[in-house]
Amino acid sequence: MSTQNSTSFFLKRNACSKFLFAKKLLLLVIFSSIALLSHAQKQKHLEPVNLIKDKQDYQGYTIRLIPALGGNSYGFDIFQGPKLMVHQYQDPIPGRFVNKKEDAFKVATWVIKEYKKTGHWTPMVPPHAAKEWKLSNNIDNPSKN
């Protein structure tokens, strides 16, 4: 008789443990979904890049806008004639999203100016340069979203 009681006790305990695990798992899935949906709603939708129209010529180079990795901002390609010199597919200002086309062109022209000064391509823009252009008001800081 005691074997039956101990067996039913362990079966009930095992079933209870499985139920609690399933409940915790369900709550984790629900909260993860809520967090993901709220983050997705905060992301801004950018104007699509037109690879033909969204380009500028600057000091012998052609700047063509591209969507940055993740689709939250703009990157750019810099060509000299048919030769690709810079492919900036990540956000060019660390910790920031450049979400206006005119700001992306400003960043690309800065990269060209720096190249002409130093002889080195510097696709990442230091934050002090962005502040000089007043870009800090026009770009999003993803950590604040």
The whole-angstrom separation of Cα 46 and Cα 48 is: 6
Cα 79 to Cα 43, 83, 112, distances in angstroms: 30, 5, 10
The whole-angstrom separation of Cα 84 and Cα 88 is: 11
Quick one: pLDDT at residue 132?
Answer: 74
Quick one: pLDDT at residue 144?
Answer: 46
The whole-angstrom separation of Cα 7 and Cα 132 is: 75
Task: Say if pTM beats, i.e. exceeds, 0.85.
Answer: no
**Strand runs labelled E in the chain:** 55-58, 61-67, 74-80, 83-88, 97-98, 139-140
**Start-to-end Cα distance in the chain:** 63
- CB of 77 closer than 8 Å to CB of 84: yes
Query: Token digits for 64?
Result: 């063509």
Q: Read off the pLDDT of residues 106-133 as tens digits, 9 standing for 90 and up.
A: 999 999 999 999 999 986 787 777 777 6
Domain coordinates in residue numbering, the chain: 1-42, 55-144
- Contacts of residue 130, defined as CB under 8 A and 6 or more positions apart, other chains included, come to 93, 96, 107, 136, 139
> What's the average pLDDT block by block, 10 residues per block, for the chain (145 residues)?
55 65 68 60 71 92 90 90 92 79 90 92 78 58 46
Query: Token digits for 7?
Result: 């067996």
